[in-house]
Amino acid sequence: MNRFLSLATLAALLCAPPALAADPKPAKPPPPAPAKAPAPAQSGATFDMKDLSISGSLGGEFGDVNLFSLRADASLPIMKLSPEVKLHGVLSLGVGFGGQDIPYGSADWTIVTLVPAARFQLRVAPKFELYGDAGLGLYMGFSSASITIPGIPPIIPDQTYSSSSTSFGVMMRFAAGALYELNPKVKLSGELGLTPYFGDASTTNFVLLVGAQFKI
């Protein structure tokens, strides 16, 4: 009988569910994801060739030599100086035609100019901007002159003399202008300025130009 009880007790112990184990240690939380590196601070630079604009202007230069002027500009924003002010780089190619009276005749001029300039452009209204230019460049001038010395006809006929020359030198451009936006691709422009010439053609001209600017 005792052996039977022992066997029954052993069987009960073997079939009984094991004792609950001690509470397991709480699982460690997953390590936090590495923090994203902060985005680099954006500088004021906005240089992008897709912002290139081309403009054409016509008008006059008035001074010792009066010229009818044509000018083409390529303008590209370089950087933002403030939320409303941008610095542009401008390259201007111009040509002027004109002349002046000289004793006993006249002289005709053709001047070709190439001027890189810095432009500070300020937006003052949603469709209206003002700008100021300062540039230093080169010019090449072609001139021809003709004079007639009166004679004493029929004994001494009038004498006519002609000459031509080429001149080179340095020039500057100081200008203030305005732009009015007709649509996102086209702006009307107007400009007043001073153009000092140094070298063979030493003069300072007052400039008045009107035109249009086209975004590429």
| pLDDT for position 19 | 44
Domains (ranges, CATH) in the chain? Answer: 46-98+109-140+168-215 (2.40.160.20)
What pLDDT score was predicted for residue 36? 58
DSSP for 144-187 reads EEEEEE--BTTTB--EEEEEEEEEEEEEEEEEEEEEEEEETTEE
pLDDT computed for residue 26 by the predictor: 54
Nearest to 129 by CA among 88, 187, 85, 180: 180
Cα dist from 149 to 58, 101, 102, 153, 161, whole Å: 37, 15, 12, 12, 8
If the chain, 216 residues long, is cut into consecutive pieces of 10 residues, what is the mean pLDDT of each piece? Answer: 47 48 53 56 62 95 90 95 94 92 83 97 95 97 87 81 88 97 96 93 92 94
Predicted TM-score (pTM) of this structure: 0.72
Residue 33 is predicted with a pLDDT of: 60
Per DSSP, the three-state class of 95 is strand
Position 41 scores a pLDDT of: 46
Q: What is the pLDDT of residue 103?
A: 82
**Tell me, what's the pLDDT at 116?**
97
**DSSP 8-state assignment for residue 127:** T
